Amino acid sequence: MRIRYDRFPGGVSKALTLSYDDGRVHDRRLVEKLNAYGLKGTFHLNSGFFGLEGYVHAEEVAALYQGHEVSAHTVNHPFLEQSPPEQVVGTILSDREALEALVGYPVRGMSYPFGTYNDRVVATLPALGIEYARTVASHGKFDIPSDPLRWHPTCHHKQMLEHVDAFLAPLRHSRMKLFYIWGHSYEFENDDNWELVDRLGERLGGRDDVWYATNAEIVAYLQAIERLRFSADCRMIHNPSAIPVWISAEDEPLKIPAGRVVRVEG
């Protein structure tokens, strides 16, 4: 029995996620555009900047980002690798606590302020409840992250349209393709190129062969795949997770419902 981990929810092989930092007021326009095209984003917020000039207000966070994900970015955007351990712990945990009080769910991810970090910072994150952390080291690929605590994106939004054709192109060998775009919403305003979002939405929005997901949803799904349990001959598959998982069995998509055991015939 040939099993492959090559499917996202719905049995599709492609996923798109967007990731934006700092919580600037231009997130309002960006969210409106993402919603119009059915795209999903993760917004990494500095809780210490709420209400300052050019930043969103705490009171609007829950409603503004509904349907998307609110994620951590530290309280006040320090260089973490230049900070003592106590400060690293404090600024991440305090940011989580402030954001969780606003959105009503656990904040499980972050992006690195300035995109900088070191091994000491990374090693601290699991104890702080952080399951993923995005860098700014774009690699131009559609790879699943090998280390979610050093999650490298596909590209900055300035280059995103250059990758659309490759993302949509059929694969010779089936695998999961993840298109990860990052940036800052104020850059659209500064560069006067909001049309980039529209052009992306026109190309990639509303497709039945793409899963639109937040960063946390992707991490949760990948974790659920890894939790699958197989019989010795791989014909019985148990999914102990709370979400359904799709895989390929003999090159055919197979759904394993949450908490169920599925037997593969043939």
- The pLDDT tens digits of the residues spanning 200-231 come to 999 999 999 999 999 999 999 999 999 999 99
**Whole-number Å distance between alpha carbons of 39 and 36:** 8
Q: Which residues contact 239 (CB under 8 A, 6 or more apart)?
A: 224, 227, 228, 245, 256, 257, 258, 259, 260, 261, 262
**Whole-number Å distance between alpha carbons of 19 and 34:** 12
pLDDT in tens, the chain (266 residues): 899 999 999 999 999 999 999 999 999 999 999 999 999 999 999 999 999 999 999 999 999 999 999 999 999 999 999 999 999 999 999 999 999 999 999 999 999 999 999 999 999 999 999 999 999 999 999 999 999 999 999 999 999 999 999 999 998 888 999 999 999 999 999 999 999 999 999 999 999 999 999 999 999 999 999 999 999 999 999 999 999 999 999 999 999 999 999 999 87
Q: What angle do CA 86, 114, 140 make, to 5 degrees?
A: 130
Q: Is the dihedral of CA 70, 72, 78, 81 positive or negative?
A: negative
Which residue's structure tokens are 């280390």? 147
**Whole-number Å distance between alpha carbons of 168 and 177:** 9
Q: Which domains, ranges and CATH numbers included, belong to the chain?
A: 14-216 (3.20.20.370)
Q: Which residues contact 197 (CB under 8 A, 6 or more apart)?
A: 30, 33, 34, 37, 157, 188
Which residue's structure tokens are 């148990």? 238
pTM: 0.97
